[in-house]
Amino acid sequence: LSTTFTAVTSDAVRRLNLSRLLRQVHVHGNLTRSELVADTGLNRSTVAGLIREFEDVGLVEEVAGRAGGVGRPSLGVAPIPSAAVVAAFDVRVDHVVAAVMGLGGVILARTETEIPDSQSGPDDLVRALVQTCEQMFHEVPEGAAWVGTGVSLPGVIDPESGWVRVAPNLGWRDVDLAALLADALAEHFSGSPAVALANDANAGVLAEVNRGAGRSLSDLIFLLADVGIGAGIMVGGRLMTGTSGFAGEVGHLIVNPNGRSCRCGNRGCWETEIGRDAVLRTGTGNRVSVEQVMDAARAGDENAILGLKEMIGWLGIGLVNLINSFNPQAIILGGHLSALMEALDADIRDTLPTLWSASSNQLQLVTPTLGQDASLIGAAELAFEDLLSNPLVEFERSPHLVSA
């Protein structure tokens, strides 16, 4: 039996090992050396060497480990949040939620900004984001490395070009937002890092898989209900974008062929039946927020209750259609969908049409653990991707924040 050799440079192996280890520490936080050995599949001395490298540059520190059964607790390795940070933005129809997230997922600064006129265009938005960034950085410890910027928005991102193809609720078409924002940031902050962009539901599913209700799942659907309805869909552990970024555009599933007219030209689209406007139309019709309608239902307003119950019917038809198409492990009901179930004190499972799938008992229908912040956190996770793929090189090349 002869043996051939394939040359692999130590740089590539080292980069991969650093990446594996830092990703574990970033996602799971304080881990013992034994846990890191088990999670990365690397041997003990390799893990020790990698930890030393990260300690040397100040990305991780050794801390008292969690007490595990008898004996003294072993030392743990924890991320240092202020060592490396990202700026993250969740652009919604009428406001922006922004945050600075540190390594390990700690939110170091957070702010919400109104966008007075959502139709004002990408340039105004970009100006607002740069300003917000500047404000937030005042709250971040000096010396932090700024390793990335992430933006989540309610629009379709072309997987090849990275352009926003269409964002109907923002009134946008074919906008290279990543380049616009990167350029504007570079004008204000010398050496500012790259900008990553994601559809809001796709950002949401990434966050829930990393830090929320989807942990350890490979096949799940994150539904985000706001003005529109979008889905972030993971198939076999991979985010599904479709041929041109339009996968998961489930707001335009036709659930009620005789239903209300949708702006897309069809009738009874899922978002015309269960989106925000449908909630606001429910009951007396003079309520201006989803929360007011939910409150009315909780208080026993019969019109509100009847209206929301009808919506649950359309919710169920869409869910059954997704379940029969994807057979996922879980569906996470984001945006106002969980509030809807809670307001009616209803169990979504009882209100679903009959499920064909014999495995429906195993299907998890759950609330997002991260609440309204799922897309924001997903944007931050995307922004960390460069650092996590090539830790020491990216850390070195990133600008460090100094007080203005």
Residues near its own copies, by CB under 8 A = 1-11, 13, 156, 165-166, 219, 231, 233, 235-236, 238, 240-258, 264-266, 317, 320-329, 353-354, 356-359, 362-363
Min dist. Cβ of residue 95 to its own copies (A): 25
Min dist. Cβ of residue 373 to its own copies (A): 26
Which of 71/237 has CB closer to its own copies?
Answer: 237
Task: Give the count of alpha carbons within 13 A of 30, CB side only.
Answer: 10
Pull the structure tokens for residue 200. Answer: 């809001």
Neighbours of 109 (CB within 10 A): 19
Decide if 334 contacts 308 (C-beta within 8 A): no
Could you give the C-alpha distances from 202 to 90, 93, 160, 205, 249, in angstroms and in order?
12, 17, 16, 5, 11
Dist CA 274 CA 280 (whole Å): 10
Query: Which single residue is written with the structure tokens 């879980």?
Result: 330
Which of 65/316 has CB closer to its own copies?
Answer: 316
Rounded to the nearest 10 degrees, the angle between the axes of helix 10-28 and helix 33-40 is 120
* Strand partners for 220: 234, 330
Min dist. Cβ of residue 6 to its own copies (A): 5
Min dist. Cβ of residue 62 to its own copies (A): 28
Which of 29/313 has CB closer to its own copies?
Answer: 313
Q: Which residues does 52 contact at the CB level (< 8 Å), separation at least 6? A: none
Min dist. Cβ of residue 245 to its own copies (A): 7
Which of 102/155 has CB closer to its own copies?
Answer: 155
Min dist. Cβ of residue 350 to its own copies (A): 14
Which of 288/358 has CB closer to its own copies?
Answer: 358
Which of 76/154 has CB closer to its own copies?
Answer: 154
Q: Which residues does 329 contact at the CB level (< 8 Å), separation at least 6? A: 217, 218, 219, 220, 362, 363, 364
